[in-house]
Structure 1
Amino acid sequence: MTDWIAAIEGTEAGHRAAMLLALTSALAHALFGALQKGRYDPWLMRGAIDLSYGLMALPIALFVFPLPDARLWLVLVGVFVIHAGYKLLMAMAYTRAAYTVVYPVVRGTAPVITVLADGLVFQEHFNATQWAGTALVSLAIFALAAVNLRAATVGRSTLWAALGLAVLTGVFTTFYTVYDAWGIRLADNAFTFLAWFFVVDGLFLFPWIALARWRAMPERPAPGPLMARGLLGGLLGFVSFGAVMLATRLDKVGEAAVLRETSTVFAAAIGWIFLRETVGPVRALLMALIAAGAVLVELGG
């Protein structure tokens, strides 16, 4: 697999593989985000997810791949800091407003900033068609957030704080997308980076925050069902984060980032098909515009 990754980097085959990986990541991320919606405190849910994928990755990192060298350890320290900031901000936003409002704002903020950062860091630039597609994706996602905001009935007193946190979380999404792309390109073996990424990101912060929060609760949720949900989230996390990082190694970071934002379309489709949530003509139109923007980005490239 490592040799195959190296062989197709920067080729047309690599471009097609990156597109499929980014779309797979979008679907997994929509499912991943839905797990943090509703039933459990978002801090507990994130802790269960992180613990699950950290523990699953640990034996693979120790016994399948080599230990990172000194340079890669430094990169992983940065991974920990940036992802910790992202997850803290996301959990804070989720505790202040509805998921359906927060999630689209986060996803809508990231694409334009990520494409700009991609140009500065990697010298990978979009043409006019791709910029039009990126703008369409972001604007349609923000419009979807506005539609959901009008329907929201909870969290009104903390809404502006939640929206500010959501925008800041979107900025951190850019930070980790670009930084992770730099890290996985720097590593000789992409899978060594991924294995140790999940160990470092999973085991050293949120499980401990979640444990402290769980112990302080007057009515503690049963750990068994929580961890079962966390295990599913951990498996989805492997696909969601692993696939998009591989996509950024194979092709342009900005293209992978924009395609991943089709997760909002998948999230709405999941709600409609499985949760019997009403979509309506306005939401359907906005989802179509998000998909059209992603098509423009691909056609323009």
Structure 2
Amino acid sequence: MGDLILSLEGTDAGRDLAMALALFAALTHAVFGALQKGRHDPWVSRGGMDICSGLFALPVMAMVPFPEPQMWPIFAGAWVIHSAYKFLQASTYQRGAFTVVYPVVRGAAPLFAVIGAWIVFGERFAPLQWLGVAVLLAGIFGLAVYNLRYVTVARDTLVAALGFAVATGASVAFYTTYDAYGIRATADPFTFLAWFFFIDGWLMPLVLRKRLAALPRADLVSVLKRGAFGAIIAYLSFGSVMLATRLDKVGEAAVLRETSTVFAALIGWLMLGERVGPRRLGLMTLIALGAVIVEFGG
């Protein structure tokens, strides 16, 4: 599988596959966010997901090449960055409704990712792509203003939730750019993915071990079941966008993934019972439209 990915790098077929992978990552990431925000406390949910993702990585690690020496400091850096992201994400979901904070998290990320891709990889955006970024940001700020004025759910923590959402978006951009560097630093991209999930999967369970142990048996079983499903979704989402960054430009993949805001609106409405409304749906669509302009404006 790794050889197939490598053979497509720099080709038109690789670019098309990268676009498809980024869109698939958008859908699966919205599902992942809803799972963490759903029935259980976001911290506990994340702990259950990480336990399962770390365990699921073990058989995959046995099937991929062993990491090269230069990968160990890269893995250490990824662990630190993703740990910060997890704490910011859980803090965001703890304070705000899913359909309120998720679009801001995912909408803020691409601007920072574009800047990071320019600094690290020397990527440049065409004028039409910058128009797409502007459209996307208009949706983000419009949504933030709308939420501040009209949203009544968790109103007392809304400002803090939006602040954490922007910080989480910045951390998403940071890890996207850093991990794109990491997946390009190893010969086989699946080596990075398998070892990353194993190393990344143990912090939250250790931090939350007392809270997990204190859960009633039925609740713990429920958390682990949801965690197993969430781990599979995480593999699909993170793996897809990382392979997309290996096949094509980091900035474009990061921006296109943010069409997840539309999927999040539908999930929040259908699964979590959160009302979206035409104005908020329109602003979320504006974010997604900006991402599409970026993808096709290059």
Shorter-chain TM-score tier: over 0.9
Whole-Å separation in 2 of the counterparts to 1:270 and 1:43? 20
Whole-Å separation in 1 of the counterparts to 2:26 and 2:77? 24
Matches within 5 A, 1:167-186: 167-186=166-185
1:113-165 Cα deviation digits (max 9, x unpaired): 11011111101110110111122123213423443454533433333332222
Whole-Å separation in 2 of the counterparts to 1:72 and 1:261? 28
Could you tell me the percent identity over the aligned residues? 56
Answer yes or no: is 1:58 the counterpart of 2:50: no
1:79-112 Cα deviation digits (max 9, x unpaired): 1000000001111222222222222221121111
* Alignment match, 1:4: 4
* Alignment match, 1:236: 233
Displacement of 1:74 in angstroms is 1.1
Whole-Å separation in 2 of the counterparts to 1:16 and 1:146? 36
The partner residue of 1:223 within 217, 220, 225 is 220
Relative to structure 2, which stretch is displaced further, 23-32 or 97-106?
97-106
Q: Which amino acid aligns with 1:133?
A: G
The partner residue of 1:262 within 259, 262, 268 is 259
Q: Under a length normalisation based on structure 2, what TM-score does the superposition of the two structures give?
A: 0.93
SS in 1 for 2:70: helix
* Alignment match, 1:108: 107
Matches within 5 A, 1:12-161: 12-61=12-61, 63-161=62-160
User: Residue 104 of structure 1 contacts residue 145 of structure 1 at CA under 8 Å; is this kept in 2?
Assistant: no
Answer yes or no: is 1:298 the counterpart of 2:295: yes
Distance 1:226 1:269, change over 3 A: same
* Alignment match, 1:209: 207
Q: Which amino acid aligns with 1:280?
A: G
User: Residue 100 of structure 1 contacts residue 148 of structure 1 at CA under 8 Å; is this kept in 2?
Assistant: no
The partner residue of 1:280 within 277, 281, 291 is 277
Distance 1:143 1:164, change over 3 A: same
User: Residue 96 of structure 1 contacts residue 158 of structure 1 at CA under 8 Å; is this kept in 2?
Assistant: yes
1:173-214 Cα deviation digits (max 9, x unpaired): 111000000000111100111110111111x20112232223
Structure 1 gap segments, 5+ residues each: none
Q: Which amino acid aligns with 2:247?
A: L
Distance 1:220 1:154, change over 3 A: farther
* Alignment match, 2:163: 164
**C-alpha RMSD over aligned residues:** 2.0
